[in-house]
């Protein structure tokens, strides 16, 4: 294939644009801001899950506390009624002795229930404190998600704008390459990720290997408009003033 030197040189400009477009695509697919956003969302989701469990626990313990208080109050009410009857002295001696016995039993029961109530109250206090702490943390986590989402959107927008600018420039550059040379370049680009490379100081800038002496001699004798290919990577080699031929 033949192509004048000017068309070949434009391949280097085209390759620079394609290299940057590939870098942008890779960054878009592996955006640090996207990873940070996903991490922030995961942390918020984890906090919300903990908050649901904590609120459930708090509600359960609160019901226990209410029941414990009710149980203690029932015993206190019963003891108060018995004490009132005992103080009134109504009833037979046997009935009064039974009341005294029951009062002693109720006192022991009240003591046991008050210990249970105290334990439940302590657990309720702990459960409520956990809920309060998690609720206080949530606004900060939610704000972190919003900030991360904004940073991700801004990063994507900047990359998309840069990519669009490069695509417009690529269209202009490609138009000056010519259909035949462009087709060869894009075929190689699709298979290797780089369609053209500079021949610089007797080295292919594509595979970074120094060319054999025989290839260099052949390239030095080749007409200016002849398309050269690297024997190692098959990329189009573009000669410049620094090729060392």
pTM across the whole model: 0.73
Q: Which residues contact 86 (CB under 8 A, 6 or more apart)?
A: 96, 99, 100, 103
> Which token pair is 164?
């669009």
Q: What's the per-residue H, E or C state across 46-115?
A: HHHHHHHHHHHHHHHHHHHHHHHHHHHHHHHHHHHHHHHHHHHCCCCHHHHHHHHHHHHHHHHHHHHHHH
Which element (helix H / strand E) includes 129?
helix 93-175
- Which stretch of DSSP H or E encloses residue 199? strand 196-200
Q: pLDDT 10s digit of each residue in the chain, 245 long? A: 899 999 999 999 999 999 999 999 999 999 999 999 999 999 999 999 999 999 999 999 999 999 999 999 999 999 999 898 888 877 788 888 888 899 999 999 999 999 999 999 999 999 999 999 999 999 999 999 999 999 999 999 999 999 999 999 999 999 999 999 999 999 999 999 999 999 999 999 999 999 999 999 999 999 999 999 999 999 999 999 898 87
Q: What's 31-174's CATH class?
A: mainly alpha
- How big is the chain, counted in residues? 245
- Residue boundaries of the structural domains of the chain: 5-25+178-239, 31-174
Taking the C-alpha atoms of residue 66 and residue 168, their distance in angstroms, rounded to an integer, is 72
Q: Do the bridges between strand 196-200 and strand 236-239 make them parallel or antiparallel, or are there none, so unpaired?
A: parallel
- Reduce the DSSP state of residue 164 to 3 states and report it: helix
**Cβ atoms within 10 Å, residue 122:** 12
The sign one gets for the Cα dihedral 10, 14, 19, 23 is positive
């Amino acid at each position: 294939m033949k192509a004048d030197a000017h068309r070949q040189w434009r391949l280097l400009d085209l390759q620079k644009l394609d290299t940057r477009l590939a870098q942008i695509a890779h960054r878009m697919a592996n955006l640090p801001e996207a990873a940070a956003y996903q991490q922030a969302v995961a942390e918020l989701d984890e906090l919300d899950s903990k908050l649901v469990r904590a609120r459930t626990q708090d509600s359960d313990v609160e019901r226990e506390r209410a029941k414990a208080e009710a149980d203690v109050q029932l015993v206190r009410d019963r003891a108060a009624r018995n004490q009132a009857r005992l103080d009134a002295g109504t009833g037979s001696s046997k009935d009064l002795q039974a009341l005294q016995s029951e009062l002693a039993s109720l006192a022991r029961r009240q003591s046991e229930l008050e210990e249970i109530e105290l334990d439940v109250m302590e657990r309720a206090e702990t459960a409520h404190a956990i809920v309060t702490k998690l609720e206080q943390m949530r606004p900060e986590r939610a704000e972190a998600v919003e900030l991360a989402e904004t940073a991700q959107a801004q990063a994507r927008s900047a990359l998309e704008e840069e990519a669009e600018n490069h695509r417009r420039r690529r269209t202009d550059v490609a138009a000056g390459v010519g259909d035949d040379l462009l087709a060869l370049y894009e075929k190689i680009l699709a298979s290797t990720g780089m369609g053209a490379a500079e021949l610089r100081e007797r080295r292919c800038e594509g595979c970074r290997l120094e060319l054999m002496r025989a290839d260099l001699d052949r390239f030095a004798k080749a007409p200016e408009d002849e398309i050269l290919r690297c024997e190692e990577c098959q990329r189009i080699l573009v000669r410049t003033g620094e090729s060392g031929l």
